[in-house]
Amino acid sequence: MSNVITYGTFDLFHYGHLEMLRRAKALGSHLTVAVSTDAFTEKDKGKSCECPYAERTAIVAAIRYVDTVIPETCWEQKVSDIKTHNIDVFVIGDDWTGKFDELKRVCEVVYLPRTTDISTSGIKQSLFQGGRTITNTRA
């Protein structure tokens, strides 16, 4: 039995997010997900969210792979979260490769490959710059 943690903004939740959570959960028995707060996302990440924190948290909490959701309020909280939640494995997308290697002193660090051809940034760019239209084809 091992405890896994991952972090993210999870704005405009999409298939890539779902795959990340599924693959993270496959690495252990309990998955904790830290969702970036609006203030942290805007101030420290330099991004704005289309969906407010409460909605993003509700979506992530509803995913069957997720056992616990906590707020991410700053970059520095990771070691504390790992200790508080008895984490064995820290998981993040491979676009962050090497950025969290210092956590290897407190747990295993895994950089998972991103799901190809999908990202929140890409979706926003497509939607707001007149790109392809996303439609629901189900009746």
Which active-site residues does the annotation give? 45, 47
Rounded Cα–Cα distance for residues 133 and 127 (Å):
7
Q: What contacts 36, CB < 8 A, 6 or more positions away? A: 7, 8, 9, 10, 45, 53, 71, 72
d(CA 57, CA 129): 27
Q: What is the rounded CA–CA span in Å between residue 81 and residue 79? A: 5
Helices first, then strands: H and E counts in the chain? 5, 5
